[in-house]
């Protein structure tokens, strides 16, 4: 199993659709006893939260977010934790909105101090 996500900061490697999570968004992860949660913000997202569970290298969580235009949205995401050759963590994600139409895939990677 890849190492714990607790305390790691991750960021998308590419921008999603306008008004959503993008490369300026930062996710701060927490993990304890199979539970995972994170706070995120940046770009068009003023505040977001995710909560779910981890079994092995698989994450299953729901997310909610408040955007700069004052609208909210929520969805479901399944992620695979991958450890990169340089020791950083990558999440390969498949997500689907529950509050609106749309789904897709994304990749977030651990940000090191000089990247942030």
How many angstroms separate the CA atoms of 3 and 18, rounded?
A: 32
Reading the chain (116 residues) residue by residue, the pLDDT tens digits are 668 999 999 999 987 665 578 889 999 999 999 999 999 999 999 999 999 999 999 999 999 999 999 999 999 999 999 999 999 999 999 999 999 999 999 999 999 875 55
pLDDT at 72: 96
- Nearest partner of 80 among 49, 111, 108, 59, judged by Cα: 59
Helix (H, G, I), strand (E, B) or coil at 94: strand
Q: Number of C-alpha atoms within 13 angstroms, CB side, residue 58?
A: 4
């Amino acid at each position: 199993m890849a190492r714990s996500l607790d305390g790691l900061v991750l960021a998308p490697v590419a921008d999603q659709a306008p008004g959503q999570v993008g490369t300026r968004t930062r996710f701060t992860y927490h993990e304890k006893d199979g539970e995972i949660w994170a706070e995120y913000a940046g770009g068009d997202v003023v505040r977001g939260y995710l909560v779910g569970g981890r079994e092995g290298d698989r994450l299953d969580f729901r997310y909610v977010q408040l955007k700069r235009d004052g609208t909210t949205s929520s969805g479901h995401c399944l992620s695979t934790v991958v450890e990169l050759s340089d020791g950083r963590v990558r999440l390969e994600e498949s997500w689907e909105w529950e509050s609106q139409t749309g789904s897709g895939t994304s990749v977030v990677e651990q940000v090191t101090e000089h990247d942030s």
